[in-house]
Structure 1
Amino acid sequence: MRKVRRGISDGGGNREEAKMEEDGVNLNWSLPVPSVQELVRQQRPDVVPPRYLRDDMVLADHRRESSQGLPCIDLGKLMDPPSRSTELHNLHSACHQWGLFRLVNHGVSDEGLRMMQENVQGFFELPYHEKQKSAQRPGSLEGYGHAFVTSHDQKLGWNDMIFLKCLPNHERNLDLWPQNPPEFRIALEKYSEDMRKLAVAVVNYIGMASGIHEGELDLLMKSFGEGKFEIRMNYYPACPEPERVIGLEPHADISGITLLTECADMPGLQVLSNDDCWVTVPPVHGSIIVNLGQIMEIYSNGTYKAPDHRAVVNKEKERLSIATFCYPSPSLPVGPSPQVLAATGLPPLYQTLSHSEYMQRFFNRKLDDAVPFIDTLKM
């Protein structure tokens, strides 16, 4: 496994971190790096520090194509028998063509969304020393910091984040859950339960759209009801040279599905279309973006896609977003659906793995691996 070069971190380092560097790296922990928010707040740079510059990326990638073709799915129509068939057809098309759609009439209360968004904003407005009470610990991605920083000379994204495991309850590390703002924990508990209920409903209809039914559909829903829910709250500061940095690098999620809400009206999420254009997904108040993860692409035997997406930044204003990664229960194997295989008559494109093996394969790969993770799982 690739070795990490020894160096000085802004946290001063310790023996545990040094041991991890000597042993090699995986993607299940991250080296401490400076806060981008504090960099902007204290130094107000006119130019971007070299470690954030991404001139290796084609500048044209930052063009913002029309978002008119992005699908919008109405959960109310899916729940209503007279309109269900037509909306299932629309859902199937969205999952096949884009792997991402805007969800409206989703049933999550405006109050629940507002409470979570305000508390996330409140957390990132705290003094740095207060946020540091939730800082990542050596050997874990959970907490306040950055994700997937595996070397001291690695290029960095223009973002800070706090990542917390929320469900099931026994997975929570409450030592890392902020106690400020005072209602943060209450908001996060309610929000994670709302996202679990929504994920079960969404997965139900995605399963129906893919052609599964009866026992297998019930098993899929039950698995997400008992599954893991992890929430990443992102802060992207305004940037003096937005065309030279990336907020979050292009990637596909490894979850079952991901549910994304925006904390305001500043766009930043982009999805890669079938014709290789980056399409901006504009925020729409009260809606939730559903993004298929690679577990669902595998489950559909490649019929549905887990899209590449990224976050860009801007010169004028900060952006905050909340991503909920929804995983099925570890008891559900990660592999193509038997009913999908039977209905299509196609051979399986992907191996069937245990949930733990699937996760281990992801976290034990190299960050700069040229082969997309999902391709390593093909038959």
Structure 2
Amino acid sequence: MDSSQLLPQSHGSVQELAKELKLDVPQQYIQEHREPTVVRNHSSPFPSIPVIDMNDFNNIRESDKDPLINLRSVCQEWGIFQLVNHGVDKLLIKKMKEEVVNFFNMPVEEKVRYKLLAGDYQGYGQTILHKQDQKIDWADRFYMITNPVHRRKSNLLPEFPPVLRDTMEKYLLELQKLAMYLFGLTGQAVEIDKQEMIDAFDDGMQSVRMTYYPPCPQPDRVIGLTPHSDAAGITILLQVNEVEGLEVKKDGVWIPVSFLPDAFVVNIGDILEIMSNGIYNSIEHRATVNATKERISLAMFFNPKLEADVGPAKTMTTNTGDPPLYKTLIMEQYLKDFFSRKLDGKTFLERMKIRYGEAGTET
């Protein structure tokens, strides 16, 4: 696939297209069968996603299992939560937000220095097309691998404007520490040995996505980010500006997320669902857009090492005696299979599931 297939011929970005639109959105962005968002009413308000307070885990006693029980329940029932008192410096977060806004405010001629190249999925651009009739998300995004360092593209982060590059490097380090702490807690909550989590995730594959959702004159007819679950262990999302749009699918209904000040939104990805042997929920989510306001977000994805096994955690299945519900793959093969999109109409988690016959043997 060449780069002309990745973006509309006449526009380098949806951001630029949106500046020229008066009413009608081009057909390639129109989603005719978009599922509606639940409507709030006073008699039956929709639920809010749970909140996890990191202070609950400070100096936790061996006998006090309540915070871990609550975390397990949240990850099982919801697969997503807002994280407060997370310890990441507020001034660094503020600076990171400013620099992401500055990136998208650069002239398009500067941003295309980082554009998606033919056959690649890292860089700046729109939805990567896998088939001719695929709809395009109403968003511009910049995606890149940040760890391991030797896998970084030399034309991306190293070539960022100095302030953005330095701020991003500091932010990556802080969130790496936070992610490892969360992996330890989520593993402990389902009795996965701490060393098994460290062996899988320490210095693992990490990536970042900055996303810009322009205003749209027909917001109910487009989608900012197509419904999906994340091919990750966990995702840590920072809401860059005050415009919301993230929605999660709970009990068959799309529920909007209202962000708390200074909170991160953390969601469970496919890999942690697999490692927990199906206890945790890799939640389906999407992004909608606003009629008059832009929305900007910054997501970080944390995965195992590329050479690590991805499968039900051995210490957990040994402890419980439960049979593994998912296959085991090397992380690098897992990513190749996921991004190939050759799933025969199934989700990747469905393809990874092991089927057992009546005699308990794998089919």
TM over 0.5: yes
Match of 2:359 in 1: none
Task: Give the 3-state SS of the residue equivalent to 2:155 in structure 1.
Answer: helix
From 9, 18, 29, the equivalent of 1:52 is: 29
1:303-342 equivalences in 2 (<5 Å):
303-342=279-318
Cα distance, 1:316 vs. partner? 2.1
Q: Is the 8 A contact 1:167 1:192 kept in 2?
A: no
- 1:204 correspondence with 2:184: yes
Cα distance, 1:165 vs. partner? 1.4
From 328, 353, 357, the equivalent of 1:352 is: 328
Match of 1:32 in 2: 7
CA deviation vs aligned residue, 1:274-314 (integer Å, no higher than 9, x gap): x2111111122211111111110000110111000000111
- Further displaced range: 111-120 or 356-365: 356-365
**How many percent identity over aligned positions?**
38
- 1:265 correspondence with 2:245: no
1:60-209 equivalences in 2 (<5 Å):
60-61=36-37, 63=39, 66=45, 68-82=47-61, 85-177=65-157, 179=159, 181-209=161-189
Cα distance, 1:246 vs. partner? 0.5
With over 3 angstroms needed to count, the CA separation of the structure-2 counterparts of 1:325 and 1:64, relative to structure 1, is: farther
Task: Give the 3-state SS of the residue equivalent to 2:329 in structure 1.
Answer: coil
C-alpha root-mean-square deviation of aligned residues, in Å?
Answer: 2.0
Structure 2 distance, partners of 1:194, 1:371, is 36
Cα distance, 1:90 vs. partner? 1.2
Q: Is the 8 A contact 1:167 1:227 kept in 2?
A: yes
Q: Is the 8 A contact 2:18 2:214 kept in 1?
A: yes
With over 3 angstroms needed to count, the CA separation of the structure-2 counterparts of 1:64 and 1:163, relative to structure 1, is: farther
- Further displaced range: 217-226 or 94-103: 217-226
Structure 2 distance, partners of 1:64, 1:281, is 12
Match of 1:372 in 2: 347
- Further displaced range: 230-239 or 182-191: 182-191
Structure 2 distance, partners of 1:296, 1:377, is 13
Structure 2 distance, partners of 1:162, 1:353, is 28
Cα distance, 1:117 vs. partner? 1.0
Match of 1:16 in 2: none
Cα distance, 1:134 vs. partner? 0.8
Cα distance, 1:113 vs. partner? 1.0
Structure 2 distance, partners of 1:115, 1:84, is 37
Structure 1 distance, partners of 2:345, 2:23, is 34
Structure 2 distance, partners of 1:320, 1:93, is 30
With over 3 angstroms needed to count, the CA separation of the structure-2 counterparts of 1:247 and 1:259, relative to structure 1, is: same
The code of the aligned residue for 2:323 comes to: P
Cα distance, 1:63 vs. partner? 4.4
Cα distance, 1:372 vs. partner? 1.1
Match of 1:250 in 2: 227
Structure 1 distance, partners of 2:59, 2:255, is 31
Structure 1 distance, partners of 2:131, 2:232, is 25
Match of 2:339 in 1: 363
Structure 2 distance, partners of 1:121, 1:342, is 48
Return 5+ residue gaps in structure 1 as ranges.
14-29
Structure 1 distance, partners of 2:287, 2:48, is 19
CA deviation vs aligned residue, 1:16-43 (integer Å, no higher than 9, x gap): xxxxxxxxxxxxxx823441100012x1
CA deviation vs aligned residue, 1:57-88 (integer Å, no higher than 9, x gap): 24x34646955441111112113214952211
**Greater than 6 Å deviation, 4+ residue runs:** none
Task: Give the 3-state SS of the residue equivalent to 1:175 in structure 2.
Answer: coil
Structure 2 distance, partners of 1:152, 1:162, is 22
Aligned residues: 347
- 1:239 correspondence with 2:216: yes
Return 5+ residue gaps in structure 2 as ranges.
355-363
Q: Is the 8 A contact 2:200 2:309 kept in 1?
A: no
Structure 1 distance, partners of 2:151, 2:253, is 38
With over 3 angstroms needed to count, the CA separation of the structure-2 counterparts of 1:263 and 1:178, relative to structure 1, is: farther
TM-score, with normalisation over the residues of structure 2? 0.90
With over 3 angstroms needed to count, the CA separation of the structure-2 counterparts of 1:109 and 1:84, relative to structure 1, is: farther
Cα distance, 1:271 vs. partner? 0.7
Structure 2 distance, partners of 1:342, 1:39, is 55
Structure 1 distance, partners of 2:109, 2:260, is 33
The code of the aligned residue for 1:318 comes to: E
